[in-house]
Amino acid sequence: MTRIPAIALGFLALGVLPLSAQDLPPGLESARLLPGWIDDQGNRIAALELRLAPGWKTYWRSPGDSGLPPSFDWQDSSNLADITLHWPAPEAIRSGDDLTLGYHDLLVLPFTARPADPAQPLRLGTTVDFGLCEKICIPANVALQAPDPGAMPDPQIEAALKTVPRPLAQRPLCRLTGIEDGMRLSALLPQAGAEAAAMEVMGHPDIWVSSPVLQSEGNGTRATADFVAPSAQPFDLDLAEVRITLIGADGAVETQGCDPQG
């Protein structure tokens, strides 16, 4: 008689099996959508779970100068209006002179799925493209379906939600200057001892942003990064669209927008 591993019995109890080993790329031990639950507003709270082999990593939404951020295609879902991803604070991962932002061992990426019609069932199916790295980096792809939601919140998802970067109480001050092929933004953040940072332009994935250079300044940290648009010329960078994340030993903080420094 075929024996079922204990981890598989746990997945069966939830009504879903992870992808089999022959379906998985190197470095990925399992991949699934956690079923989650329905919140008080009728939204589905669920999560992507990726278990990685020892020594392997995957990337955050803004991995740094190298790395492949995850992308999602939700066309296999039904009655889905939109998805909001809740990214846990990433690790600062150093490999030689490279610094990337990502996750080792386990990624639980929570999300909120809003139904198009709250009176009808919401079915979740996605195809995920992402990067996996050990000594070399490879692109990976998995297609996943979520089981029906549970009756109660999932402690694993709740724990991941607690690691999402905390919002800053006030917007930082920043300086914006033109450079030969774009713009340079320098922001003074009120946290000291940061390990890494990221800057992104919301809604403009075509704008390349360098990994910020960090310097201690007073009781805070100054983060400076270059922004290069497809034109490779100075351009009108809207400070309200810039999202800044600062990662430290005690978690991460985040803000969208900054105020010009006089």
4, 20 in Cβ contact below 8 A? no
Report yes or no on 253 lying in a domain.
yes
Co-location of 26 and 81 in the same domain? yes
- Quote the mean pLDDT of the chain: 88
Residue 12 has a pLDDT of 34
- pLDDT score recorded for residue 99: 83
Residues 126 and 217 occupy one common structural domain: no
pLDDT, tens only, 110-135: 999 999 999 999 999 999 999 999 98
Same domain for 241 and 126: no
Please indicate, yes or no, whether residues 131 and 188 belong to a single structural domain of this protein: no
pLDDT digits (tens, 9 = 90+) for 20-77: 444 788 999 999 999 999 999 999 999 999 999 999 999 999 988 778 889 999 999 9
Instruction: Give the mean model confidence (pLDDT) for residues 192-211.
Output: 91
pLDDT given for residue 170 in this prediction: 85
Residue at 188 is within a domain:
yes
- For 215-238, what is the mean pLDDT? 94
**In this predicted structure, what is the pLDDT of residue 262?**
58
Residue 95 has pLDDT above 80, yes or no: no
Residue 79 has pLDDT above 50, yes or no: yes
Determine the structural domain holding residue 176 and report its residue range: 166-260
Q: From CA 224, how far away is CA 184, in angstroms rounded?
A: 7
226 and 113 share one domain: no
The mean per-residue pLDDT over the stretch 92-104 comes to 84
pLDDT over 70 at 98, yes or no = yes
What tens digit of pLDDT does each residue of 60-70 get? 999 887 788 89
Q: How many domains does the chain have?
A: 2
Strand, coil or helix: 158: helix
Domain closes at, from 136, 161, 186:
161
Residues 69, 138: one domain? yes
Assess whether 51 and 95 both reside in one domain.
yes
Domain holding 69: CATH number? 2.60.40
Out of 119, 138, 161, a domain closes at 161
pLDDT in tens, 161-185: 999 999 988 889 999 999 999 999 9
pTM for the model: 0.86
N-terminal to C-terminal alpha carbon distance within the chain: 75
Q: Could you give phi then psi for residue 159, rounded to 5 degrees?
A: -65, -40
C-alpha–C-alpha distance, residues 177 and 227, integer Å = 10
- DSSP state, 11? H
pLDDT of residue 21: 47
Together in a domain, 110 and 148 = yes
Report percent pLDDT > 70 for the chain: 91
Pair 210, 126 in one domain: no
* Weakest mean pLDDT among 1-15, 98-112, 158-172: 1-15
Please list the alpha-helical segments (H only) found in 70-212.
155-161
| The domain boundary residue, chosen from 137, 161, 185 | 161
Looking at the structure, do residues 171 and 153 belong to the same domain, yes or no?
A: no
